[in-house]
Structures are given as structure tokens and as C-alpha cells.
Amino acid sequence: MSKRNKLSKFEDIMSYPNVYQNFSPKEIKPMGQGGKVVQLKGKWAEHFGDQKPITLELACGRGEYTIQLARDYTDRNFIGVDVKGARIWKGATMALSEGLDNVAFMRTKIEVIEEFFAPNEISEIWITFADPFLGKPNRRLTAPDFHDRYKRMLIDGGVVNMKIDDPTLYEFTKEVLAERDDVKILYDRDNIYSQPLDFPELQYKTYYEKSHLEKGRKIKYMRWMYV
């Protein structure tokens, strides 16, 4: 992507009503449309204008999963989170063009995710094809510290979904979850396409998943909750 194209997309999302950005994890200052500093933590119902349950997609990339979920589940609100503004632009633009008012996007490092969401503000989390960070396990989105964050943000009975291709991240996640005494595994399949899909949400295929499937990789899915 050219520098000009990136700058154009950054300008676009700065003007979008469905995108919020926090540029530095060391200085928490989320900005909304036009660069206005806003308060997000505990305030997402005000953004959406209703009390519908909120689902987060972490490391959402282009927002394809977020968009598809929002299309099919209009009784819920969805927020895609990613550190790359040029990626978010795709999903945010699509949401606006389709009039999906149950979609928003947050640009930030996920390490500081609790700065933008209050305890019990989230009903469900999706982790889709996240970076496995080979050699840097503490940065993986299923490292122990991240589970603590998710547990605090989720309502009682809230669930985490993980759909990935990377075997290292998959085994790492299973090991981390097995070490906790506050986790209940609800579903675990290391090759979801080896049989009919058990959940309709699994049929969505992002750009990254299609690429992985073309390379012959198996798609893995886990669902769990904190108790």
C-alpha cells in the first residue's frame, strides 16, 4: 500500500462516526470523529444508543468477521479492535455504506483494552486468526494476562471464541487454559471442516482464512467461559 493511500485512509477514519482511535498505549486519550477526545469506558451503550449486548472482535484486521456478525445478528452490537488504522478502514467503510449502525471500530493496542471497556460491559469476545507471535508468547492474545482482562470485561456467562489456523497458538492456548481453575471449555475442535459446522458463525471466511485454507492449513476453533 502506498504512503498516500495509507494517509488517505487515516484521514477517512478520523472523520468516521463509527471509529475511535487511541494512538499511544502510554497516553490513554481515545479520539472520535474529527479528533475529539471522548470517554469510552462504560459508555458504549451511549454510542450505540441502546442496551444491546456487545461483542468484541480482537485483532479484527479488515473487520470482515465483525461486519458479517453485525449483518446476521442485528439484535447485538459489535466492535472490531485492531492496531492498524488502514485495516480498520475497510470494515468501517463497509459498515457505513451498508448502514450498519450496530458496528463500531476501535484502533488501539489490545494490551490496554481495559482502558476502553468497563467491567461487565462485554457479552462475548472473538479472537480470529490472531498473530501467533512465535518467540514472544507473552504477546499472544491468549497469554495469561489477557485472560485476566477478558474475565473482568465480560459479563457472567460471557464467552470467548477463538478461530485460528496456527498450531502453536492453538496448543499454547490449550495449555494456558488448562492451568487455570476458572475456565470451562465449551467446545474444542482442531479441524472444524472435517465435519458439518456446529455453529453458523463459523461459516464466515475472512481474507486470511481463505489464504490459510488454500495452503492446506486446518482451521481450529475453541469456545470457553470463565467461572
Mean pLDDT within 198-219: 94
- Please pick, among 50, 131, 145, 198, the residue that the annotation labels catalytic: 131
3-state secondary structure at position 162: strand
Q: In this predicted structure, what is the pLDDT of residue 6?
A: 83
72, 106, 91, 54 alpha-carbon torsion, rounded to 10°: 0
Question: Can you give the pLDDT at residue 132?
Answer: 97
Q: Which CATH superfamily is domain 3-226 in?
A: Vaccinia Virus protein VP39 (3.40.50.150)
- Cα(38)–Cα(73) distance, integer angstroms: 27
Q: Answer positive or negative: Cα dihedral of 29, 120, 43, 15.
A: positive
Q: Residue 221 pLDDT > 80, yes or no?
A: yes
Q: DSSP of 53-117, one letter per residue?
A: -EEEEET-TT-HHHHHHHHH-TTSEEEEEES-HHHHHHHHHHHHHHT-TTEEEEES-GGGGGGTS
Domain boundaries, the chain: 3-226
User: Cell 498450531 maps to which residue?
Assistant: 167
The pLDDT confidence band at residue 21, using thresholds 50, 70 and 90, is: very high
* Predicted local confidence at residue 2, as pLDDT: 62
131 among known catalytic residues: yes
Tens of pLDDT, residues 33-53 = 999 999 999 999 999 999 999
Say yes or no to pLDDT of 1 above 70.
no
Q: List pLDDT tens digits, range 172-196.
A: 999 999 999 999 999 999 999 999 9
pTM, 2 dp: 0.95
Q: Compute the average pLDDT of residues 162-169.
A: 98
